Structure 1
Amino acid sequence: MADPTRRKPPLQVIREGNPGKRPVPEGVRLPPADLVEPDWTDTFAEVTGAQGPVNARCRTVASREWRRVVPVLEFTAGIGTVDTSTLTDYCICIARIDQCEREISTNGILMLGERGWQKNGATTIVGQYRTQLARYIGELGLSPSARGRLTPPEDSGDDDDDVFD
């Protein structure tokens, strides 16, 4: 049963209608937009390291994640052009986590340094990226619990008053 004390998110109120005629903040009314995937070479420059092109895989991972989540978010969250930077950062975060995990898999969690065995620096970095990823997942509604807070819009059959038309 739904919690009667919990307010519906403003976007959900807009999608489902507002039978109580309570005011909805104007700032949440965003027209849907066709989001254009960023040029990942701006973020992940062409750099060659000891193991080949360092950022080529990051560009691939970020692009694949963009193409995976944007269609879903356009349908479920009604994202707009203003959300491009959040989505871009989310994809960068995914790519960097992949990069750190590959570094840890290649060189191990512990590395032999000047003063003996020490923690691979990628373990600290990946932890910070995972913390940020958790925030993005909550903001964008990409986890089951975040999706549970939204209910899908009901099809009333009357599309004349639809904000997104």
Structure 2
Amino acid sequence: MAVRGAKPKPHLQAVREGTYREDRQSPGVRFSPSDPVEPEWELHLPGEHDDGVLVREQAAAAWARIVPMLVISAGLTDTQRDTALEYCITWARLVQAERHLSTEGLVVGTERGNVKNPWTTIAHQYRAHFRSLVGELGLSPAAATRLVPPEGGDDDDGVFD
């Protein structure tokens, strides 16, 4: 069941700001600081047809683009990689749905006449899931303001220097 009110601040942010209260906040679980290992895409996205290959390529490209940045900016660890994996698969499936919509059109002809292309429903569902993952990982401009850099993130050797 969801809890009302604002999302709680991460433990380290509350400590840095001096607002940490032991009776109201918990340090939460600490994960080992190991970098996420890229998954075997063939295990998660099997299939030898051209569409399956394109989906795997899109997922691998999303992993290469997003995960290194999340390791540096948010302290993503291998223990937490499933959320990043889900993001990459969702992105790849959304690209696949949009590719089908572009080639087949929004309306397709069937034996019962013209109907909405089923890929529109698929794209809508993946887009909704994608938005939730973007918020979870802090990948939108608004969600990025809620991210707290991991400990030791104040050095000059940052990714944006």
TM-score bucket of the superposed structures, by smaller chain: 0.7 to 0.9
By how many angstroms is 1:83 displaced?
1.4
Cα deviation digits, residues 37-77 of structure 1 (max 9, x gap): 000001221332xxxx2210111100010011111111111
Q: CA deviation at 1:26?
A: 3.7
TM-score (norm 1): 0.78
TM-aligned CA distance change 1:11 to 1:146, over 3 Å: farther
Q: Cα–Cα, structure 1 residues 8 and 104, in superposed 2: closer, same or farther, change >3 Å?
A: same
CA RMSD of aligned residues (A): 2.4
Alignment equivalent of 2:86, drawn from 83, 86, 89: 89
1:44 corresponds to:
45
Matched, 1:155 2:154: yes
User: Percent identity, aligned pairs only?
Assistant: 40
Matched to 2:131, the amino acid is A
Q: Which residue of 2 aligns with 1:140?
A: 137
Normalised to the residue count of structure 2, the TM-score between the two structures is 0.79
Rg larger in structure: 1
Q: Could you tell me how far 1:31 is from its partner in structure 2?
A: 3.1
Report the count of equivalent residues.
146
**Which segments of 5 or more consecutive residues in structure 1 lack a partner in the other structure?**
157-165
**Against the structure 1 CA distance between its residues 64 and 10, is the aligned structure 2 distance closer, same or farther, given a 3 Å change threshold?**
same
TM-aligned CA distance change 1:150 to 1:45, over 3 Å:
closer
Alignment partner, residue 13 of structure 2: 12
Q: Which has the higher contact order (CA 8 A, sep 6+)?
A: 1
Structure 1 counterpart of 2:77, which letter?
A: G
Structure 2's unaligned 5+ residue stretches are: 1-5, 156-161
Confirm or deny that 1:73 pairs with 2:70: yes
Q: C-alpha separation between the residues in 2 aligned to 1:87 and 1:30?
A: 15
